[in-house]
Amino acid sequence: MEKQKMQENQERRGQESKFVSMVVYIQNDEERILPFFQRVLPLMRETFEKYEIICVNDGSVDGSVERLKEFFKENQETAGGNMMQIIHMSYFQGVEASMNAGRDMAIGDFVYEFDDICLDYPLELIVQIYHRLLEGYDVVAAGRKGGGKLSSGLFYWLYNMTSHSGSKIGQETFRILSRRAINRVMSIGKYIPYRKAIYMNCGLKTDTVYYEGKGKKGRKVGCRKERTSLALDSFIYFTNGMEKASLLLSGVFLFFTLGVAIYLACSVFSANKPVEGWLSTMGFLSFGFFGVFTLLTIILKYLSVMISLIFKHQRYLVESVEKITG
């Protein structure tokens, strides 16, 4: 009876009964942290009956954490009495490692991941992607239309061209995950070097809701360096781009070697003799480079197989199981 009464009160308030976790990345965001929570928390309180907040402090050296603590101390009513935790990373470890730590700490049925607290999107989008998830998806991201940097666009284009999977990735601002998606990702591998790529290729239904961004969206210098390193690592982990490039160069030098061999055969019957030693030198160099890049291709293929065996514990991915009874 009491449970039914609570459910009726909840329906009258229009709140969702699912427990939701918010994982928020913080790294020297002293100026942006209060505007973010001042706008987002009232929406969360209005939408969800119960939620938790997990802030991951990635080695901030400004007053981000102090301002955050003061805000929650002075605004208990705005926070709605919900749980709030701060994870302090030992040192600056970047967005991926920090958000992995926050996600592992989350206990919600659904988990929001805010990689950036720049509010260049309408607040309603936070609720919109939640309802989109309830339509049968396990990962729903919010992506900005345009406005991205040329380097980011080039990276996504190269990645999608050389990716092992058919699923495409692009610019994302934040996302929401189901508990099933989190469990699936954890079963694939303990170490997750690039969350976006894993989420979009975990074998479950994914979707992206796009929005028109407001103003320019820049990244901090530390994050920019981390993203560059992450981009290079991602090509090794999730694509065969290096292997294709090595194979292409091997083909070029093989073609050049065959050309030198044909020219050498023709010069035997020609009256015009080439400079002495030129053909042998060019032939040796072209064949040598062909051999080097062929060997490099074999090594890269071997490393790709080894990474796949170590990183992927599952041999197949199942989206869902439907039981049909008579």
pLDDT 10s digits, 120-140: 999 999 999 999 999 999 999
Dihedral sign of CA atoms 88, 94, 97, 101 in order: positive
Whether residue 205 is found in the same domain as residue 291: no
71 occurs within a structural domain? yes
Question: How many angstroms separate the Cα of 87 from the Cα of each of 26, 65, 81?
Answer: 10, 10, 19
- Which of 210, 238, 266 is at the close of a domain? 238
Co-location of 76 and 118 in the same domain: yes
Are 120 and 246 contained in the same domain? no
Residue 6 lies in a domain: no
CA distance 297 to 91: 37
Report yes or no on 325 lying in a domain. no
- Low-confidence stretches of the chain (pLDDT < 50) are 1-6, 8, 10-12, 221, 309, 312-318, 320, 322-326
Integer Cα distance of 173 and 115 in angstroms: 7
Range of the domain at 82: 13-238
User: How many structural domains does the chain have?
Assistant: 2
Query: Do 91 and 138 lie in a common domain?
Result: yes
What pLDDT sits at residue 1? 45
* Domain co-membership, 136 together with 19: yes
- Do residues 213 and 266 share a domain? no
Q: Which two tokens stand for residue 88?
A: 């302090």
Q: Are residues 285 and 212 in the same domain?
A: no
CATH number at residue 74: 3.90.550.10
Residue 137 CA to residue 77 CA, distance in Å, equals 33
Is residue 150 included in any domain, yes or no?
A: yes
**Does residue 323 form part of some domain?**
no
Q: Is 277 helix (H, G, I), strand (E, B) or coil?
A: coil
221 and 263 co-located in one domain: no
Distance CA 263, CA 217 (A): 57
pLDDT at position 291, please? 73
324 located within any domain: no
Q: What is the pLDDT of residue 177?
A: 96
| Co-location of 258 and 215 in the same domain | no
93 and 233 together in one domain: yes
Where helices occur in the chain by DSSP H, the ranges are 2-13, 33-47, 64-74, 76-79, 94-105, 124-133, 150-162, 179-188, 195-200, 221-238, 241-268, 278-311
Element (DSSP H or E) covering residue 111:
strand 110-114
- What is the edge-to-edge ordering of all strands in the sheet holding 51-57? 83-88, 51-57, 20-26, 110-114, 174-178, 139-145, 206-212
Of 213, 238, 263, the residue at which a domain comes to its end is 238
228 with 88, same domain: the answer is yes
Residue 112 lies in a domain: yes
Tokens matching residue 63: 């007053």
Whether residue 322 lies inside any domain: the answer is no
| 97, 122: one domain | yes
Select from 181, 205, 238 the last residue of a domain: 238
